[in-house]
A and B are shown apart, each in its own frame.
Chain A
């Protein structure tokens, strides 16, 4: 929000300038999430510990959400700056489009494989491919300029003064914190789901059946004496 207060100093640029404060940090955060996901994937393959699978998945999930936001804010930026909802000129945007397609396929892949070590391994390898794809795609898109469109502007258009840079950094920090929080929340939520399931199974295994749809308390209540 700070960016909205500080940025009015550059109000002559209007929406285009302000979106920039969101768009770039969101993009950077998305890259960070994908990188984090790939790191966890590597840890999974290296140590074979199950927990890394969930951590990798959640990171990729966050990355994809932020990637979608990058595309959305980028599209708004494009409309505001050049009057089109989409421009192929922005390498960053095109890169994100490719990555978005790639990581969307990640979820389709993951949800079509049965839970287990196979799914974890395959997802991890794919996440690693994603991170390799980022620089390779970037170069590809740069090279493609030659015969697609000549670029007519520099990517990071506006130059930033001191206060603007400060606002940018604050925005980046804020968005990174949001991403990190969402990551922890989602991870916690999924872990809790898993624990509840295990508890449910353990209880039903002991012979205590529960009516369908009953909420299992986090601690066994007094009425479930065993």
Chain B
């Protein structure tokens, strides 16, 4: 499903990602690790389609609407409620039976009670959970998750563990983490990015 050959990303003089080759099959589970500055976030942004490679060839065999992304920022509107946020993205992603799906996700991630509160009033952990809901809303075939465990408390992390276990095998997952041991049992592939880029 994902195929990268000599993919490199530069921002002017600054090299964010060294040239790399990559293959991920449908249903695969790739765990990406590496030191800070090695380009993990850049790689995931390239996979998600938020940026294009400076050089090399990247093929992701998927429509934009079938892809779910979780980044460092929650990608949400702080002044809208959880419900309003998910409703907006649900419409944009053409999620069938939107209301039911939103309700199910919010309940599953323990956000149902806070659904009418503005995201600005959430704790970081709750925001991260909501961001996860946003990424999962449209039942994506490819999930690109950038350090999803950060900011999650023990309960949230457990919920994520369960979700990932469910997804492994049905969806394709690429995630970065500083704690690879946690997802080791699920991983079908591992990628370690070499040290911090030059410049």
Q: A residues engaging B (CB < 8 A)? A: 48, 50, 114-117, 119, 197, 201, 204-205
Contacts and interface: CB of A to CB of B under 8 A. Distances in A.
Given A114-B11, A114-B12, A201 B198 contact: yes
A201 B13 contact: yes
Given A115-B12, A117-B51, A205-B198, 12 more contacts: A48-B52, A50-B54, A114-B12, A115-B11, A115-B13, A115-B14, A116-B11, A116-B12, A117-B11, A119-B12, A197-B13, A204-B198
Interface residues of B, number: 10
Contacts of A50: 54
Interface string B188-199: 000000000011
Contacts of B14: 115-116
A133 to B, nearest CB: 28
B24 to A, nearest CB: 24
Of B10, B13, B14, B51, most buried by chain A (CB within 10 Å of CB) is: B13
A51 to B, nearest CB: 12
B74 to A, nearest CB: 21
A52 B131 CA distance: 38
Contacts of A119: 12
A154 B53 CA distance: 54
A2 B116 CA distance: 78
A114 B12 CA distance: 8
Interface string B1-39: 000000000111110000000000000000000000000
Contacts of B198: 201, 204-205
Nearest to A202: B198
A157 to B, nearest CB: 48
Contacts of B52: 48, 117
A197 B15 CA distance: 13
B15 to A, nearest CB: 8
A207 to B, nearest CB: 11
A204 B199 CA distance: 10
Contacts of B13: 115, 197, 201
B199 A201 contact: yes
A114 B199 CA distance: 14
